[in-house]
Amino acid sequence: MLKYKKNLTSHSHSPSKFKGKLIDIHTHYKSPSPDVIVVQNLSLSEAEKLNVSDNDIYFSVGIHPWDIPKLEKGWESRLEKICEHKAVIMVGECGFDKNTDVSFDAQKAVFDNHIRVSESFKMPLIIHCVGYYNELAVIKKQFNPEQKWIIHGFRGKPQLADQLIRNGFYLSFGERYNPESVKITALDRIFIETDESKKPIKEIYQEISELKGCEIESLLVSSSEIFNL
Ligand SMILES: [Zn+2]
């Protein structure tokens, strides 16, 4: 396992480049406008075709639980290799899904590898979780990771949100969410995303800021930490 310290401050961007911009922490599309900084999610093979020189482009790379049956031998080292790319700043989306034929143990083996990469490259983990929340919390306790674990597209109820927050998770809200869960999530645990939605990220920021009774900028606290603003 490579020990590679990822440090975004080594990028040539200056913090002022982010001023007045919105961050979409998880999307499958390119940025729709210069005002939106996205972390575009790529599969391993998509990421291997990467050839970007732009300093303002960011990606997450990982194995979605649905794609586990298609995994080829040697994927672990391919994932490590791609994480050396300066544009890759998060590991995932990876995680668990009850609605697949893949056994929990097989999903966990793949997830464990993502955790190791996330910790050794010092990059946050972007997590897809359907069902298996208790199991995920147990795994987090066992690993006690230093990196942020972000549950993307969180639509769960406030009780679940509360339990996850207590366990140190961050929650990313997209087009659909439970308003009560948003209300109880502290500002410094919130991320905003579009995922596969074409709804403008600005509208999601507006809705969430109204629910929280805060300025849009206040929703950028956790993203700021990722980008070292
Ligand atoms: Zn996604």
- Give residue 197 CA to ligand 1 midpoint distance, Å: 10
Task: Tell me which residue range forms the domain holding 174.
Answer: 12-226
Strand 170-173: give its sheet, edge to edge. Answer: 22-27, 36-42, 58-61, 88-97, 125-130, 149-151, 170-173, 190-192
State the CB neighbour count (10 A cutoff) for residue 159. 11
Say if 155 falls within a structural domain: yes
The Å distance, Cα 122 to ligand 1 centre, comes to: 21
Judge whether 92 and 128 are in contact, CB under 8 Å: yes
Model pLDDT, residue 227: 79
Would you give per-residue pLDDT tens digits along the chain (229 residues)? 444 545 554 444 445 567 789 999 999 999 999 999 999 999 999 999 988 877 778 999 999 999 999 999 999 999 999 999 989 999 999 999 999 999 999 999 999 999 999 999 999 999 999 999 999 999 999 999 999 999 999 999 999 999 999 999 999 999 999 999 999 999 999 999 999 999 999 999 999 999 999 999 999 999 988 876 5
Give the Cα separation of 39 and 71 in Å (integer).
Answer: 23
Report the pLDDT value the prediction gives residue 224, as an integer from 0 to 100.
Answer: 87
Say how many Å lie between the CA of residue 116 and the centre of ligand 1.
21
Tell me if 91 is assigned to some domain: yes
Q: What is the pLDDT of residue 11?
A: 45
The pTM of the full predicted model, rounded to 2 decimals, is 0.92
Residue 7 placed within a domain: no
CB atoms within 10 A of CB 143: 15
Residues 6+ apart with CB under 8 A from 16: none
Chain length of the chain: 229
CATH number assigned to the domain comprising residue 63? 3.20.20.140
Number of H helices and E strands in the chain, helices first, is 8, 8
Question: Which residues does 91 contact at the CB level (< 8 Å), separation at least 6?
Answer: 60, 61, 62, 79, 83, 114, 117, 118, 121, 123, 124, 125, 126
Q: How far is the CA of 152 from the centre of ligand 1 (A)?
A: 7
Show Cβ contacts of residue 134 under 8 Å, excluding neighbours closer than 6 positions: none
> Ligand 1: distance of its center to the CA of 26 in Å?
6
Q: What is the pLDDT of residue 229?
A: 57
CA of 29 from ligand 1 middle (Å) equals 10
Q: How many domains does the chain have?
A: 1
* Cα separation, 79 vs 224, whole angstroms: 25
Establish if 158 belongs to a structural domain. Answer: yes
Q: Ligand 1 centre and the CA of 196: distance in Å? A: 6
Q: Is residue 85 part of a domain?
A: yes
- Report the separation in Å between the CA atom of 86 and the middle of ligand 1, taken as the mean of its atom positions: 21
Closest CA to 177 of 202, 132, 207: 207
d(CA 139, CA 95): 11
Asked whether the beta carbons of 179 and 160 are under 8 A apart, the reply is no
Report yes or no on 6 lying in a domain: no
The DSSP symbol for 101 reads: S
pLDDT of residue 1: 43
Which phi and psi (to 5°) does residue 85 adopt? -60, 130
Q: Is residue 1 part of a domain?
A: no
Residue 5 lies in a domain: no
